[in-house]
Structure 1
Amino acid sequence: MKHLSKHLLVFFLLVFLTSFTNNFAQIKHISYVDYLKNQGFQLNENLAPFYHGVASGDPMSDRVIIWTRVTPSQNEASNADWKLAFPVNWKIATDTAFSQIVKSGDIATDELKDFTVKVDVTGLLPNTTYYYQFEAFGKKSMIGITKTLMDDDSQEPVKLIFVEGNNYSAGYFNTYKRINELKNVDAVVMLSGYINEGETAETLIDRREIPAAEPSSLKDFRFRYAQYHLDNNLMETHAKVPFIAIWKDQSLKGSKEQAANWDNKQKAAEQAFLEWMPVRVKNGELHRSFSFGKMLDLILMDTNPTEQVGMVASTEMAVVKPAPFIEQIHYDWLTKLLNNSTANWKILTTSNLFGSINNASLDSGTGNDIDRWDNHPAEKTQLLEFIKAFSLKNVVVTNGGFKAALANEVAVNKADYNPTAGKYAQLVEITLPSVTTPSQIDQNSSAGIQTEVRCLNKTYNPQIKMANFKDHGFVEMNISLKRIDVKWNFIKDIIVDNQSKLKSTVQLSIPNGKSTFE
């Protein structure tokens, strides 16, 4: 019996090894495209090898970044001796037939870049529409449309779209379908949350994140961006309008559960963002600014979490490392830009709620998990006092971290704030509804519409002029010398795909020279 058992053991071991070898051979020889499909990616073969479309971003008066991702049929990732690399041709012209090509060239991409392609095209004319296209493996990408910013002396009106909070599994991106119907958009400003950095949401729709679990590795984050770029409505927006995007990984802040690999996870998330988004980042600094002539300066602020969790190498114990909310060098950069700006309007972006909300007007839990500027009163007061001391006018803050819509007037102190008596705030704040990321009401059903009613109660919050805590959508700004027209667009449905109808809109204006909503 013992000999029989040994023979059976050897037999089953040989069967296992044969099966494993065959499966390994199949995995090794399976095409890269089939591998991605097996992971759940829905690839449109009509777009091959440019399945993820094209995009442009970070426009300036003389340059713009164009982007794509080329998916090769084979991926030599398993070969330790070399990495698959290949050339990609690009061209940019002033006409769709590409008879007037102004720039062209070749650039290499490889597995180390996740096969993404970014070209910073320089030497362009200001305020000009361009068409661009890529070619690889004998096939051409879709044609993208982009536009440079105005020259320094321009007083042309500006039209910007502000979005935040994409969550693939929480709803369909109907917000982008609506944006695609708009005309004469100069840029889309993505304030935060291009991807969901958590696990797949449990919703009524059949959309699952890739991977389904919370991403933790570079591969995970690359997969998330790849999946989001495959969304048809978002892909079309990228192909039509340049993006100005901010990276903020809200889920990594103060994550004590992830202390052991916090730094590595953050680096992976940032690297994937830089690979998959058409952004121009110098020396690792994500804060930057954009000049729309004499009309507008758009300033992208960068703030730190209240706590940063890391590891002590000597003890391997998790510790909380204090970090300034806004670095001094960054604050100096910001205030210098504000003080030296000759633009009529100055729009600041932040991922943290800048204005105040009386907590007595909110249900318990609503917004309490958001890292606000009110949690950092010294930094907030310092910036407001600077604006007041230098008599800076037309400063507007846009916020993408609150996931609810507000129109907020922000003053240094309540005693100096009385708009009816001509005592205006130092700045106004516009907060955005999310595209699909669950809002405060989504996460706390007990709040209900009464939260909005209490928030708008003048006894609690005389500074708040509009509030919507439950709907999703985007903000449209039409900027002229006389005023900024702000329009909150709330999408009707995120549960049914390809629905661009609006549920409602709210429009307010910010008059030139006054920090107030009318």
Structure 2
Amino acid sequence: MTHKAQHSPELRAAARHFGRRRFLTVTSAAAALAFATNLPAAGAASATERDAAQITENPFTLGVASGDPLPASVLLWTRLAPVPYQPDGGLPAARFAVRWELADDESFRRVVRRGVATAHPEFHHTVHVEVGHLLPGRVYYYRFRVGAWTSETGRTRTAPGRGEPATPSSALTFAAVSCQRYDQGYYTAYRHLAGEDVDVVLHLGDYLYEYAVNSAGGARAYTDRVLPDSFNHETVTLEDYRLRYSLHKTDPDLMAAHAAHPFVLTWDDHETENNYAGGFPDGSDEPSEEFLLRRAAAYRAYWEHQPLRRPQRPDGPDMKLYRRFHWGRLAQFDILDTRQYRSNQAQGDGWQIPGPESADPSRTMTGATQERWLLDGWARSNAVWNVVPQQVTFSQRRNAVGEVYKVSMDSWDGYPASRERILAGAEAAGIENLMVLTGDVHVGYAFDIKRDFDDRASRTVGTELVATSISSGGNGSDRPANWDTYMTANPHLRFYNGRRGYVKVALAEEEARADFKAVPYVTTQGGGISTVASFVTEAGSPGLEPA
């Protein structure tokens, strides 16, 4: 398969050219693509303002959310959608004034910040409020009002100050989640996560899936509702992606988790298309203008519907999602994007015997700019823990015992030179406590990261924690069919479980503890949650030990 640039300047320019027309329809054999990429600045009078008193049904059907906490700032999000399963959300193409409040207390007796934001039709009536001048390391409560309607109350928090030393009082607890295919099960794990005492939730991708959802909601097998036909085809247009976010975000368990905790998000492939690589659609070795149009639609809908800040707002088919956060001097989080800039998969995007093409040193998972950003950030880091939330399995994962084996060409195993540059950069920067967080594979893994995975005696240089899916893959099992093979073929693999849930991680100055949480089933509502395994890794001594 040919190795070419992921998306040339000419292709990006073509996608932006189409986007300059407010809503352009491009007809092809694949689909009609309709989207706009020119977004108004805050307060732009691009549509008539309507009196919010005209909204006669609850507009907060998708809940509230917060994200990207900084020491003095947090991002608040909501969307006005009285009829969420309609393309326009049940609102006219007009602007609405939305009041917001942030308080020290849940009863809002001590409001510390308030203001008015505008819900623009160009943003699909989503609202992104960057609230500043807050105190570090504090819990806050927030809500929105429009007309006679008040949203539910959300709970959020700011990060500790950058200079705050790592102490017991600055300890951090977070959850890592991924992969929530709507039609393969209920989001029961989110209901339990909403009740957890965590500071932040890290979403590692596959927030939605592009596949068709039938009228019964697939495995949910609804008998009390019928989903519209607009969900029963693959997402391609901006309208498709917007509607799919509406479907996911009306799930009460997901809404509860967003209202309870700030989220820090990154995407994987299904927010756009399965196994895409840069400008290459799934299964293709040729970048295409049509795919970049689809990517622009997907990226725009993603930003609209997530608690993301202004620097993440997309420009046509491009969106800078990689970014950095700090939790005092305890942790530095380097959020990666391993989809937008990667080289096309070698030898196809499935499992293959590694060969010269996948070993090509020019191949990249992150792109040169993001790779340099990561390594430079490590060189300047003074954090106890350097945490890398990203998408696909980082550690080597052989599928057979012996000299002949296959690896996933869609994971870092398909980009070994890129992985080696990352590990060499961590070594050069003196990173002692590296923790990689991963989603994608619908199972829970715990890996010791080896400096050289082909040498079983190689030293351990970090930890990889792989969060299983929320619902993707159905109910799953404690011991998948290939459990014995994987555990034998990969001695650095310390844990493998196929049930649904999340990973809860507690970081302190001396050690990190990871609890793998799982629910018994997702194709039926309800069910408890249990801790199926716990591990600790000591600061300065990489490697996982059972807790």
Q: Structure 2 length as normaliser, TM-score? A: 0.75
The residue that corresponds to 1:142 in the other structure is 152
The residue that corresponds to 2:480 in the other structure is 449
Please point out which of 456, 471, 475 is paired with 2:499.
Answer: 471
**1: distance between equivalents of 2:374 and 2:387?**
12
Q: CA deviation at 1:199?
A: 2.2
**2: distance between equivalents of 1:245 and 1:123?**
23
Q: CA deviation at 1:62?
A: 0.5
Q: Pairwise mapping of residues 1-400 of structure 1 onto structure 2 (< 5 A)?
A: 48-71=58-81, 83-152=93-162, 153-155=164-166, 156-183=170-197, 185-200=198-213, 203-206=218-221, 211-250=231-270, 251-252=273-274, 253=276, 254-256=281-283, 261-282=290-311, 284-303=319-338, 304-307=341-344, 324-361=364-401, 371-400=410-439
Q: CA deviation at 1:99?
A: 2.2
**1: distance between equivalents of 2:257 and 2:193?**
7
Aligned pairs, number: 444
What percent of counterpart residues are identical?
Answer: 24
Q: CA deviation at 1:406?
A: 1.1
Partners of 1:488 and 1:506 within 8 A in 2: yes
The residue that corresponds to 1:4 in the other structure is none
Q: CA deviation at 1:361?
A: 4.7
Q: CA deviation at 1:412?
A: 2.6
- Partner letter of residue 373 of structure 1? W
Q: CA deviation at 1:267?
A: 0.9
**2: distance between equivalents of 1:513 and 1:281?**
37
Q: Are the structure 2 counterparts of residues 417 and 271 from structure 1 closer, same or farther at C-alpha, using a change threshold of 3 Å?
A: same
2:460 aligned counterpart, secondary structure: coil
Deviates more, 1:407-416 or 1:136-145: 407-416
The residue that corresponds to 1:9 in the other structure is none
- Which runs of 5 or more residues in structure 1 are unaligned? 1-44, 309-321
- Partner letter of residue 515 of structure 1? P
- Partner letter of residue 109 of structure 1? A
Partners of 1:403 and 1:433 within 8 A in 2: yes
Q: CA deviation at 1:455?
A: 1.3
**2: distance between equivalents of 1:462 and 1:76?**
50
Q: CA deviation at 1:72?
A: 5.4
Please point out which of 466, 488, 510 is paired with 2:537.
Answer: 510
The residue that corresponds to 2:469 in the other structure is 434
Please point out which of 526, 529, 532 is paired with 1:498.
Answer: 526
**2: distance between equivalents of 1:464 and 1:306?**
27
The residue that corresponds to 1:318 in the other structure is none
**2: distance between equivalents of 1:503 and 1:341?**
35
Q: Are the structure 2 counterparts of residues 415 and 260 from structure 1 closer, same or farther at C-alpha, using a change threshold of 3 Å?
A: closer
Q: Structure 1 length as normaliser, TM-score? A: 0.79
1:426 aligned counterpart, secondary structure: strand
Structure label with greater radius of gyration: 1
2:299 aligned counterpart, secondary structure: helix
Partners of 1:131 and 1:143 within 8 A in 2: yes
Q: Are the structure 2 counterparts of residues 406 and 301 from structure 1 closer, same or farther at C-alpha, using a change threshold of 3 Å?
A: same
Per-residue Cα deviation, 1:4-60 (whole angstroms, up to 9, x for no partner): xxxxxxxxxxxxxxxxxxxxxxxxxxxxxxxxxxxxxxxxx9981211111111111
- Partner letter of residue 430 of structure 2? S
Q: CA deviation at 1:92?
A: 0.7
Partners of 2:399 and 2:485 within 8 A in 1: no
Per-residue Cα deviation, 1:236-286 (whole angstroms, up to 9, x for no partner): 111110000112234250325795621111111111110000012526310
1:517 aligned counterpart, secondary structure: strand
**1: distance between equivalents of 2:160 and 2:293?**
39
Per-residue Cα deviation, 1:355-405 (whole angstroms, up to 9, x for no partner): 01222159x99x966611121111111111222233320001111122221
- Partner letter of residue 297 of structure 1? Q
- Which runs of 5 or more residues in structure 2 are unaligned? 1-54, 313-318, 346-361
**1: distance between equivalents of 2:479 and 2:506?**
31
